Amino acid sequence: SWSGADSIDEESGIVRGVKILGLESSNGRKYRKSALLDAKKLYEGMGVNLDHREDGKRRVSDGFGRTVNVEMREDGLYGDIEYLQSHPYSSQFVEAARRMPEQLGLSHSAFGEVKQDGDDTYVEAIHRVRSVDLVRYPASTKGLFESKQPLDEFSDEPGESAEAGSPRMHFRAAIMSILNDTSLSIDEVGRKIMTILKA
């Protein structure tokens, strides 16, 4: 568990003992321990960004740090956040971590394999982590040091891998390429999306 200010090494630019990934999410998904053990290496050195970006495009200034020393504990994956001490947000981050850690949390976007077992949905494997974001008042976490579970983007089809070759990923890629094309007018975007939906 978090031991307060002792977990913050301001001189080295490290906040220790952050819960990255739990065994159960607020959206009802349960994570196999084997899935987290296998995914541990995916989170080691993963960049930490500030906030979510709706357009999916990241600026250099969004980069705040990275997760290091990731380890499996009884209730999930934990690690340290190495943050850029020169970043404009660093002093606010340290103060929030010390005084009000419940206002901050990690939210991730990941792809993997999900299976339904009766009323329960299990994440069997995590294949790829797209991003880890530091957010304020996270909807799906209790805070920086105790997480219910970050958000995810796993495939909803039982047993379907959300790797690049799946139909769901092709559909997502087609829609996102249209939305990210800044040369298109709103009407053109609408028409192109409708064409995909009718296909």
pLDDT band of residue 107 (cuts 50, 70, 90) is confident
Q: Answer with the residue of higher pLDDT: 117 or 149.
A: 117
CA distance 15 to 87: 15
- What confidence tens digit (pLDDT) does each residue in 37-87 have? 999 999 999 988 887 566 556 666 667 899 999 999 998 899 999 998 998
Where b means 16+ CB within 10 Å and e means fewer, 117-137 reads eeeebebbbbbebebbbbbee
When pLDDT is averaged across residues 20-35 and rounded to a whole number, the result is: 84
Residue 193 pLDDT:
84
Residue-wise DSSP of 19-48: EEEESB-TTSEEE-HHHHHHHHHHHTT-EE
Residue 153 pLDDT:
54
112: which strand partners?
Answer: 126
Q: Which residue has the tokens 């979510």?
A: 52
* Residue at 58: amino acid letter: R
Torsion (CA) 140, 33, 133, 3 in degrees, nearest 10: 80
Residue 172 pLDDT:
66
pLDDT higher than threshold 70 for residue 199: no
Does pTM top 0.75 for this prediction?
Answer: no
pLDDT higher than threshold 90 for residue 135: no
Domain boundaries, the chain: 4-161, 164-199
